[in-house]
């Protein structure tokens, strides 16, 4: 049985609560391109507000919303650059200076850039599962729902993805990464 | 390093990434995005495209691609149909063929291959009805030998 439909205010309250996380997921789905991620998120919100994407209550709202974002990113990303190109772009990207302690900020930004570059080299499913579990704190079961795969498949992607990500980070940061 | 520690290290790396993605000024303004979504929903589709809303423009491009694809398929199907008709329908139509058969077998036009053997001299006499006083067609009366009047006694 479907849950009662959310009102416009309830929908917008849910979107507001998840906005930052949704942008992070959209970034991951768009190869960490801010403009693409914003376009995808805007289109997703339009779908939700207009009722073209309707929450049926069969899963958690966050799981459903992430699924819509992923689908929208796929539609949006047909003309997008390949992941390899994205990884190369991320490697060339200048590190933004920020915060009160420039050295620490730059180091953190460097580590974040290395992680993004390594993630972009993973197969899509592995990258998505790792993002949903480690970045968004979803369970593997919830990640499987977002990606519309079985729990077993998600587990395999999770384990293989972790293994490969550690290897990639070790290559990029021989002095010590997440190994 | 244990499996749990390794996972915690990864989790820490992702936490840094989350902090970097959520830094001030990077996350787009929610209210502005919702306002654009509301206005795009309220506007009719053509205006939404002119307005430059990314979502509507994307949808418009998608619709255009679908239309173009459908048009291409329709053109291909039409071309295939025409080509098929040209290749298979080279014979005259059934009506034309029937008319030719009727013309060929009509009484006026049809002649037996041996009908010429029946044409003999004097055949025309059999095709007309003779009448008294009228020359028989094909015979000139002046060329006939004059007949002598019969003797009276012979008439008795």
Question: What's B65-76 look like in SS3?
Answer: HHHHHHHHHHHH
Distance CA A177, CA A115 (A): 9
Q: Which domain holds residue B46?
A: 3-94
Residue B86: inside a domain? yes
Judge whether A95 and A110 are in contact, CB under 8 Å: yes
Token duo for residue B142 = 């002046």
Q: What is the mean pLDDT of residues B2-6?
A: 79
Lowest mean pLDDT among A146-155, B90-99, B145-154: B145-154
**Cβ-based contacts under 8 A for chains A and B:** 99
pLDDT at B48: 46
Q: Give the nearest partner residue to B21 out of A15, A24, A43, using CB atoms.
A: A24
How far apart (Å, rounded) are the C-alpha atoms in residues A56 and B104?
A: 78
Domain spans of chain A?
A: 8-79, 88-172
Is residue B83 in a domain?
A: yes
CA dist list (Å): B48 to A35, B42, B58, B59: 20, 9, 11, 10
State the fold for domain A8-79: Rna Polymerase Sigma Factor; Chain: A (1.10.1740)
Q: A38 pLDDT exceeds 80?
A: yes
Radius of gyration of chain B (CA): 53
Closest CA to A46 of A3, A12, A4: A12
Tell the burial category of A97 from Cβ atoms under 10 Å away from its Cβ (0-12, 13-18, 19+): exposed
Q: Would the CB atoms of A108 and B19 count as touching at under 8 Å?
A: yes
Is residue A120 within 8 Å of A86, Cβ to Cβ?
yes
pLDDT at site A155: 96
Specify the pLDDT at position B91. Answer: 58
User: Is a pLDDT exceeding 70 seen at residue B57?
Assistant: no
Cβ pair A27, A37 in contact under 8 A: yes
What is the rounded distance in angstroms from the CA atom of residue A28 to the CA atom of residue A172? 20
pLDDT at B50: 46
What is the arithmetic mean of pLDDT over A134-144?
A: 95
Does A49 sit within 8 Å of B41, measured CB to CB? yes
Nearest residue of chain B to residue A40 (CA atoms): B55
Query: How far away is chain B from the Cα of A94, in angstroms, using its nearest Cα?
Result: 14
Query: pTM here?
Result: 0.59
**Tokens standing for A3?**
């849950």
Residue B107 lies in a domain: no
**Chain A residues within an 8 Å CB radius of B56:** 46
Residue B71 forms part of a structural domain: yes
Cα B22 from Cα B24, distance rounded (Å):
6
Among B26, B27, B37, the residue with its CB nearest the CB of A45 is: B37
Most confident of A1-15, A47-61, A99-113: A47-61
Looking at residue A43, what is its pLDDT?
94
Both tokens of residue A107?
């180091």
The answer to whether residue B44 sits within a structural domain is yes
Chain B interface, best mutation among A19, A40, A42, by max B CB count within 10 A = A42
Interface check A91 vs B, CB under 8 A: no
- Flag if A115 and B36 touch (Cβ within 8 Å): no
B137 domain-assigned = no
* pLDDT tens figures, B7-52: 888 999 999 899 888 888 889 999 999 999 888 877 765 544 444 4
pLDDT at B117: 81
Q: Provide CB contacts within 8 A for A20, sequence distance 6+.
A: B22, B27
So what's the pLDDT on residue A159?
96
Question: Does residue B130 lie in a domain region?
Answer: no
Which helix (H) or strand (E) covers residue B62, if one does? helix B54-88
**Topology of domain A88-172, per CATH?**
Arc Repressor Mutant, subunit A (1.10.10)
Task: Read off the pLDDT of each residue in B135-144 and give the average, rounded to a whole number.
Answer: 64
Chain B residues whose CB is inside 8 A of the A134 CB are 10-11, 13-14
Residue A88 in contact with partner chain B when CB distance is under 8 A: no
Shortest distance, CA A149 to any CA of chain B (angstroms): 23
Position B24 in a domain: yes
Higher pLDDT, A143 or B38: A143
Q: Is B115 helix (H, G, I), strand (E, B) or coil?
A: helix
Number of domains present in the structure of chain B: 1
């Amino acid at each position: 049985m479907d849950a009662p439909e959310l009102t416009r205010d309830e929908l917008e309250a849910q979107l507001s609560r998840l906005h930052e996380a949704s942008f992070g997921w959209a970034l991951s789905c768009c190869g960490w391109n801010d403009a693409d991620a914003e376009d995808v998120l805007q289109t997703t919100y339009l779908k939700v507000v207009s009722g073209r994407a309707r929450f049926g209550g069969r899963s958690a709202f966050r799981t459903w919303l992430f699924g819509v974002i992923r689908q929208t990113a796929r539609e949006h990303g047909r003309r997008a650059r390949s992941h390899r190109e994205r990884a190369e772009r991320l490697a060339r990207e200048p590190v933004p200076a920020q915060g009160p302690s420039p050295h620490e900020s730059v180091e953190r930004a460097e580590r974040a850039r290395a992680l993004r570059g390594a993630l972009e080299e993973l197969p899509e499913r592995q990258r998505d599962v790792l993002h949903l579990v480690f970045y968004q704190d979803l369970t593997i079961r919830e990640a499987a729902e977002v990606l519309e795969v079985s729990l077993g498949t998600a587990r395999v992607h999770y384990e293989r993805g972790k293994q490969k990500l550690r290897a990639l980070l070790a290559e990029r940061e021989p002095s010590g990464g997440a190994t | 390093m244990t499996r749990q520690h390794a996972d915690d290290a990864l989790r820490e790396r992702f936490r840094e990434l989350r902090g970097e993605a959520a830094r001030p000024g990077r996350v787009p303004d929610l209210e502005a995005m919702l306002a654009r979504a509301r206005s795009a929903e309220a506007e009719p589709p053509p205006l939404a495209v002119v307005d430059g809303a990314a979502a509507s423009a994307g949808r418009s491009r998608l619709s255009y691609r679908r239309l173009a694809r459908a048009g291409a398929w329709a053109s291909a199907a039409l071309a295939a149909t025409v080509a098929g008709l040209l290749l298979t329908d080279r014979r005259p139509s059934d009506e034309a063929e029937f008319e030719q058969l009727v013309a060929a077998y009509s009484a006026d036009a049809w002649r037996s291959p041996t009908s010429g053997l029946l044409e003999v001299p004097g055949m025309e006499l059999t095709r007309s009805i003779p009448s008294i006083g009228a020359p028989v067609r094909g015979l000139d009366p002046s060329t006939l030998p004059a007949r002598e009047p019969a003797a009276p006694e012979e008439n008795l």
